[in-house]
Amino acid sequence: MRLEGKRAIVLGAAGKDNMGQVIARRLVAEGAKVMVAGRKAEYLDQFVAAHPGKGFMALCDITRKDDNQALAAAAVEEMGGVDIAVNATGWGLLKPFLETTEDEIQRISDLQFKGPYMFFQAMIEAMKDGGSIIQISSATATIMLNDHAAYMGTKAGTDHVIRCIANEFGGQGIRANSISPGLTETPMTAAEGKTPGLWEAFLPSYPLGRVGTSDDIAAAVVWLSSDECFMTGQNLQVNGGLTLRRNPWKDEIAASVMAAMQAQGN
C-alpha cells in the first residue's frame, strides 16, 4: 500500500492484459485510485468494473490535444487531481529504413513524440501538488535493432523531453523518468513468441537469463510513483541487463529460427 491516497492516470491501457493494464492493476494493489485511458472502451470498462471505487476510465487519443486536456480534466473531476501519470502507448513499427513511408513516419511521430509531448503538458498542468510522470520507452532507444529506426528515434526523442521536464519542473515537485523494457512478454509480442527459436535468439543477450514481463515494468512504475523515489530525469533500464550487451542481429535471429524449425522437423 505504498501508493495509498495517490491518484494515477495510465494511458495506453485499452488492450486486454497489455502492459498498461498490468501497470494499472499494480497501482490499484498499492492503494492508488487509477484512471485507465485509451481509444477503445471495452477493456477500460472491465477494469473499472473489477476495481469499484478505485478504478475510473476515460477515452483518449494521445495524438489529439483536446483529448489529453479532457483526460486531465476528467481525472481532476473524478479523482480530485493527478499525482502519477504513465504513458504506456506505442506502436511497434518494424520496417526497413528505406521502405518506411511518409505516412508511417507521420503516424509514429504523432503517437510517440507529439502525442506524449501534449500528454505531459496536460498532466503537468493538473499536478497542483507535484507528482511523478513516467514514460514507457524502450531499450532500443539506447541500443540497436534492425529495421526499427522510426520507432527508436521517436522513443529516444521523447526520453529527452522527459529530461527537459525533470529539469524545468522539479521546483514544482514534479519528477519525470523513463522506463526502458527490452523484449517483453505481452499480448503485442504473443504472435512472435510462438515462432520457434525467436525467444532463444534473444536470451544470450540477457545477463539475468530471461526476457522481461509486464510485471517487471509495473514494479518499477510503483517505485517511481512512490514518495520513496528521489530520482528524476533518468531512464531506468528495466530489461534484465540487455543494454549491457545488444539485441541479436537479423541473421542471428534467422539462424536460430531455422535451427528450431529443423529440430522440430526431426
What digits encode the pLDDT tens for the residues 107-166? 999 999 999 999 999 999 999 999 999 999 999 999 999 999 999 999 999 999 999 999
In a domain, 196, yes or no: no
Cα 184 from Cα 43, distance rounded (Å): 21
What digits encode the pLDDT tens for the residues 206-216? 999 999 999 99
Please tell me the predicted confidence (pLDDT) of residue 194: 76
Number of domains in the chain: 1
Res 266 pLDDT > 60: no
In a domain, 223, yes or no: yes
Res 39 pLDDT > 70: yes
Percentage of the chain beyond pLDDT 70 is 98
Catalytic annotation, residues: 151
Average pLDDT for residues 16-40, to the nearest whole number?
Answer: 97
In a domain, 146, yes or no: yes
Cα 189 from Cα 17, distance rounded (Å): 12
Res 188 pLDDT > 80: no
**Among candidate residues 148, 241, 144, 259, the one with its CA nearest the CA of residue 201:** 259
What is the rounded (10 degree) CA torsion for 142, 144, 147, 149? 30
Cα 213 from Cα 149, distance rounded (Å): 24
In a domain, 207, yes or no: no
Task: Note the pTM of the prediction, 2 decimals.
Answer: 0.95
In a domain, 140, yes or no: yes
What digits encode the pLDDT tens for the residues 64-84? 999 999 999 999 999 999 999
Cα 4 from Cα 214, distance rounded (Å): 22
Res 192 pLDDT > 80: no
Range of the domain at 146: 7-187+212-243
Domain with 88 in it: what CATH number? Answer: 3.40.50.720
